[in-house]
Amino acid sequence: MHSPSPRPLAAHRPAAPLAGTLRVPGDKSISHRALMFGALAVGQTRITGLLEGEDVLRTAAAMRALGAEVTQDGPGSGTWRVAGRGLGGLVEPADVLDMGNSGTAARLLCGILASHPIFAVMTGDASLRRRPMRRVTDPLAACGARFASREGGRLPLAIEGARDPLPLEYRVPVPSAQVKSALLLCGLNAPGLTRIEEPEATRDHSENMLRHFGAEVGVEEQGRTRIITLRGQPELRAADVAVPGDPSSAAFPLVAALLVPGSAIRIEGLGLNPLRIGLFDCLREMGADITIENTRIQGGEPVGDVVARHAPLRAIEVPWERAPSMIDEYPVLAVAAACATGTTRMLGLKELRVKESDRLSATAAMLTANGAKVEISGDDLIVYGTGRPPAGGGRVETHMDHRLAMSALVMGLAADAPVTVDDASFIDTSFPGFVALMNGLADNGGVEPLRAP
């Protein structure tokens, strides 16, 4: 599905401010889960607003290979239907499951397969094959599943699901919504109570959607610790899902509007789950002009419209506790920090080292290549802002990381000289139409600000 050769792209400062009303693609986390839970439920689930990026399409293909009927109402419609198999009803796939670039799909699917008595082999692209899977396979093995992988727990991965799965009890060592969700998905097909402790609250889309489909999920707060319990072997009932706009995708046009003088944009129908919008808290502390309007609840998730206007930014210290609510947004926050006045410190970013790339080192390299001063101290990222955008003019190595590529392009819209990324083809994994959308916000005298170098 990826383009066979790299597709370089350069971002130039637009001639006029960014302006307009837009919608970003559907939330990626919710899209993955809607397809998976629909496949495990009895009956037909209708999904609207589904993200039709490559990562989610890999999940759709995997659920189809496992026996669910997954159909699209029409090209680009965002409306899909899933006729589920019911818990325990998945069939053994005839071929290897290729999860492309999606760590979320791969890890959550490990959870589903672990408690179904079938054999499957999973692989992914070059980036995903470098990413560790033992963080999910080690705790999942306690249910009775067996896993065989390359050294370090890396894909390709062979999974032999448990015939008589046991419920799990596990304390997640570091905050990870993917690990938590994989364990919950495993617990669905095991009798008894699955119990998971997480040291910090992480995005709770799985808990919300499990309830939406009829599962019994309990959440108890003990200080910072959250204890999640799931009653196994529920009868999941098909339930329609309206997917809100993805706040991680909205981060890019939003930060661009803050950085390009005179800009004002409105993003409609955006998911505002409090465990996903740590970036908004950071930007407001930095002095950003961000307002939220028309809030409502949609499918168990808070949704609203977000208005962002250009404003000068100042440095802050980002506490490590905020990382789970914005783990994908640090590269674009680092771009904002490079344009702010003063020294911004982002603490406790160990988790960034195991994303699509070593995102911590790659973010520092992106800024350095374009004239910003930055350093890494342990697991902390320190950005020395000057109160104006970096000089730009650099070429950024994206390491097949879509969020790094989009962050660099946002920087190029504000920088003095164009910023070039070595490959923009991977952006479609999470944000199809990103380039056209950003170009549509910028009146650049007929010349697109994002264009081939």
Full 3-state SS string of the chain: CCCCCCCCEEECCCCCCEEEEECCCECHHHHHHHHHHHHHCECEEEEECCCCCHHHHHHHHHHHHCCCEEEECCCCCCCEEEECCCCCCCCCCCCCEECCCCHHHHHHHHHHHHCCCCEEEEECCCCHHHCCCHHHHHHHHHHCCEEEEEHHHEEEEEEECCCCCCCCEEECCCCCHHHHHHHHHHHHCCCCEEEEEECCCCCCHHHHHHHHCCCCEEEEEECCEEEEEEECCCCCECCCEECCECHHHHHHHHHHHHHCCCCEEEEEEEECCCCCCHHHHHHHHCCCEEEEEEEEEECCEEEEEEEEECCCCECCEECHHHHHHCCCCHHHHHHHHHHCEEEEEECCCHHHHHCCCCHHHHHHHHHHCCCCEEEEECCEEEEEEECCCCCECCEECCCCCHHHHHHHHHHHHHCCECEEECCCHHHHHCCCCHHHHHHHHECCCCCCCEECC
Residue 3, pLDDT score: 46
Q: Which two tokens stand for residue 452?
A: 């081939």
Is the model's pLDDT at 315 over the cut of 80? Answer: yes
CA proximity to 181, closest of 165, 156, 204, 163: 204
pLDDT in tens, 231-272: 999 999 999 999 999 999 999 999 999 999 999 999 999 999
Residue 38, pLDDT score: 97
pLDDT in tens, 52-75: 988 999 999 999 999 999 999 988
pLDDT in tens, 358-372: 899 999 999 999 999
The CATH-assigned architecture of domain 9-26+244-451 is: Alpha-beta prism (3.65)
Residue 358, pLDDT score: 87
Pairing between strand 301-309 and 69-72?
unpaired
Is the model's pLDDT at 355 over the cut of 70? Answer: no
| Cβ within 8 Å of residue 288, ≥6 positions away | 258, 308, 311, 313, 336
Q: Look over the chain and give the mean of its residue pLDDT values, rounded to a whole number.
A: 94
Residue 2, pLDDT score: 45
Active site residue 328: yes
How much is the average pLDDT of 288-298?
94
How much is the average pLDDT of 22-38?
96
Q: How far is CA 39 from CA 85, 165, 270, 378, in A?
A: 6, 19, 25, 42
Residue pointed to by tokens 């029409």: 74
Residue 105, pLDDT score: 96
Q: At 1, is the pLDDT very low, low, confident or very high (cuts 50, 70, 90)?
A: very low
Question: Domain extents for the chain?
Answer: 9-26+244-451, 28-229
Residue 5, pLDDT score: 83
Q: At 310, is the pLDDT very low, low, confident or very high (cuts 50, 70, 90)?
A: very high
* Rounded-to-integer distance, Cα 292 and Cα 285, Å: 15
pLDDT in tens, 99-124: 999 999 999 999 999 999 999 999 99
CA proximity to 121, closest of 94, 101, 140: 94
Residue 253, pLDDT score: 98
Q: Are the folds of 9-26+244-451 and 28-229 the same?
A: yes
Question: Given 246, 328, 401, 428, which residue is catalytic?
Answer: 328
pLDDT in tens, 125-183: 998 999 889 999 999 999 999 999 999 899 999 999 999 999 999 999 988 899 999 99
Residue 8, pLDDT score: 97
Residue 257, pLDDT score: 98
Q: What percent of the chain has pLDDT over 70?
A: 98
Q: By mean pLDDT, which of 204-208, 362-366, 367-371, 439-443 is the weakest?
A: 439-443
How much is the average pLDDT of 15-34?
95
Residue 47, pLDDT score: 97
CATH superfamily assigned to domain 28-229? Enolpyruvate transferase domain (3.65.10.10)
